[in-house]
Amino acid sequence: MSDLRQEHLIDAYAKWSAKGVSGRPLSGRTVHHLHDLIRCALNFGIRREWLTRNVAACLETEDLPKPAKPEPIALNETEMAALLNAARHPPERDKRSGGPSAEQWFYPAVAFAIYTGARRGEVLGLRWADVDFESNTVSIRRSLTRTHSRGLFFKEPKNGKARTIAMPSTLAAILKQHRAAQDKERSILGAGYKDDDLVFARPDGSLVNPRCFGNRVIELAARAKVTPITAHCLRDTHASLLAKKGVPLEVVSKRLGHADIRITAERYLHVYRESDAAAAKVLDTVRV
C-alpha cells in the first residue's frame, strides 16, 4: 500500500474503462464507484496508521472517466394509458398465485408515480395523513429505502426537503377507491393488520420492498407491450408529459422535488427543445 501512487490508479481506471473485466469495458459510473471504494479503504488504512496519505483522495476530477448520464426514458400518452390499463387488470396467473402485481396496492402505486412524478421510495413511504382530498394535494415528506445493514427504513426525501403538490382529479378518484379496498383488507385481518397509515402496503399492512415494486414495473411494461422501462421512468414520463403540454420548467422542477431548476433543465432539455421547435412552426402560420 505504501508503494501505491496516483498514476497506478489512473492507469487502472483507464484500463477498466477500455477493457474492463473479462473483456467487458466498465461504465464510467462503475469506475467512479470503484474509486470511491478504494478511497474509503485507504482512509481506513490512515485511521489504522498503516498509511500516511490517501492517494485516491489526491486525484482530480479529470483523472477519472466521465460517467455517462443515463438518458431519460418516457412513455407517450398512448403507452401510459396501456401501462395503467395493464396494471389495473393483472393476469389470471398472478391472481391465482397472489403475486404482488395482483395485490390491491400495485395499480394505485403505479398511477401515483405517473401522476405525481414521485420517486419510488417516496411513493412507498406515503401516508394517508399526507393526502388531502379536500384540496386535492399530497405532501411528500419521507422516502422508504433499504440497505443491507438496516433493512427497510424511512428517511427524508432526497435533498431533505418536503414538498406539497396538487393531484389531478383522476388520481384522487383512484386513491379514494384504493382506500376503500384497503379498509376491507384491514377489516378482514382485524388485529393481524399492521396499520402504519401507509397508502401503499401489502395486504397485511406491511411495507412494500422498493426492489419488489421496481421489478414488478419492469414486468408490467413487458406485459403492456410498451417501451421497456424501470420504476424511475414513471417519473420521467410525468416530467416529459408536462413539458410537452407546455407546463413551465420551474413548475415541473417543483413537482419533481429537484434541488435546483438546472437539474430539471439538464435532464429534460430535449423535451423543451421539441416544444420550442413546435412553437416555431406555429409562428410560420402567422401572416405578416
**Would you kindly state where each structural domain of the chain is located, as residue ranges?**
6-63, 77-273
Q: Which of 228, 231, 233, 239 is nearest to 270 (CA)?
A: 239
- Across the beta sheet with 131-132, what order do the strands follow? 131-132, 137-140, 163-166
Mean pLDDT score of the chain: 90
Q: Is the pLDDT of residue 30 over 60?
A: yes
Burial class (CB in 10 A: 0-12, 13-18, 19+), 192: exposed
Alpha-carbon distance of 172 to 222, in angstroms, equals 27
User: What is the C-alpha to C-alpha distance for residues 210 and 122, in angstroms, rounded to an integer?
Assistant: 10
- For cell 426525501, name the residue: 157
Band (pLDDT 50/70/90 cuts) for residue 47 is very high
pLDDT given for residue 199 in this prediction: 98
Element (H, E) at 118: none
37-74 CB burial, b ≥16 within 10 A, e <16: ebbeebeebeeeeebeebbbeebeeeebbeeeeeebeb
CATH of domain 77-273: 1.10.443.10
% of the chain with per-residue pLDDT over 90: 67
End-to-end Cα, the chain, rounded Å: 74
CA distances from 164 to 141, 153, 236, 255, 265 (A): 9, 22, 19, 8, 21
For residue 129, give every residue at least 6 positions away whose Cβ sits within 8 Å of its Cβ, in sequence order, or none. Answer: 197
What's the one-letter identity of residue 71?
A: E
Instruction: Look up residue 4 and give its three cell numbers.
Output: 501505491
Q: What are phi and psi of 48, to 5 degrees?
A: -85, 0
Residue-wise pLDDT for 242-253, tens only, equals 988 889 889 999
Q: Is the pTM of this model over 0.75?
A: yes
Q: What does the pLDDT read at residue 287?
A: 66
Asked if the model's pLDDT at residue 183 lies above 90, the reply is yes
pLDDT at 84: 98
Q: What is the pLDDT of residue 281?
A: 64
